[in-house]
Chain A
């Protein structure tokens, strides 16, 4: 069965500082990996996704993520955080075997200090 672990429940960074959110997955084959962001009272918005090819993927809002098969990781990064980035971030792994089923991690809440 596929699973996702986000080790950090809360992270606080200063505005302008760099950010890295961790994600580890468990999946038997080549995974489809996603990062979503959820602002308070909103649905989830896709930031970026990895299916194959270049292991460094670029997303919206200046985010990027790197797929490392040897570490079963897909960490999200941003070089300079803005106050508007404060939100909850979810990593997810997808399976094409079960009709697009996504398994989400528990999420990381990001707070940004002025």
Chain B
């Protein structure tokens, strides 16, 4: 079974530019998550989708971050405009359903550097 796919793997941009990340979850997984992992820290949940609806986006900086999962499958996360403190690895994960008993499977991440 194919895992969670993310692209690009690496991105370098200047501050105030915009950037988008793409995630394709494991086939059949209804729940999709975006995490931000700053160097030296654990992942922090940004947003959680159940099919194409948002379950939790309480930690998403909505003035600059947006995410969508229009058809309930793949998802994009956008930052506009980027700040230096957005430099991090952005991890996408998916699970069969929403609920802690369902294992989350993580993609390899996109490493963003903002200069």
Contact = CB atoms under 8 A, between A and B. Distances in A.
Nearest to B106: A43
A101 interface: yes
Interface in A22-76: 32, 36, 41-46, 49, 51
Interface of B: 4, 31, 40-45, 48, 50, 55-56, 91, 93, 95, 97-104, 106-109
B11 to A, nearest CB: 15
A89 to B, nearest CB: 10
A46 B48 CA distance: 19
Contact of B108 (A41, A49, A107): A41
A49 B56 CA distance: 23
Contact of A46 (B50, B97, B103, B109): B103
Range, interface on chain A? 20 to 34
Nearest to B31: A100
Nearest to B102: A100
A100 B45 CA distance: 11
A90 B43 CA distance: 9
A101 B42 contact: no
Interface of A: 4, 32, 36, 41-46, 49, 51, 90, 92, 94-96, 98-107
Q: Which 4 A-B pairs have the closest CB atoms?
A: A104-B42, A43-B106, A94-B100, A32-B100
Which has the most chain B C-beta neighbours within 10 Å: A32, A92, A102, A106? A102
Contacts of A36: 106
Contacts of A42: 108
28 contacts: A4-B42, A43-B91, A43-B93, A43-B107, A43-B108, A44-B91, A44-B106, A46-B103, A46-B104, A49-B103, A51-B101, A94-B100, A96-B100, A98-B56, A99-B31, A99-B48, A99-B50, A99-B55, A99-B98, A100-B98, A100-B102, A101-B56, A101-B100, A102-B45, A102-B104, A104-B42, A107-B40, A107-B42
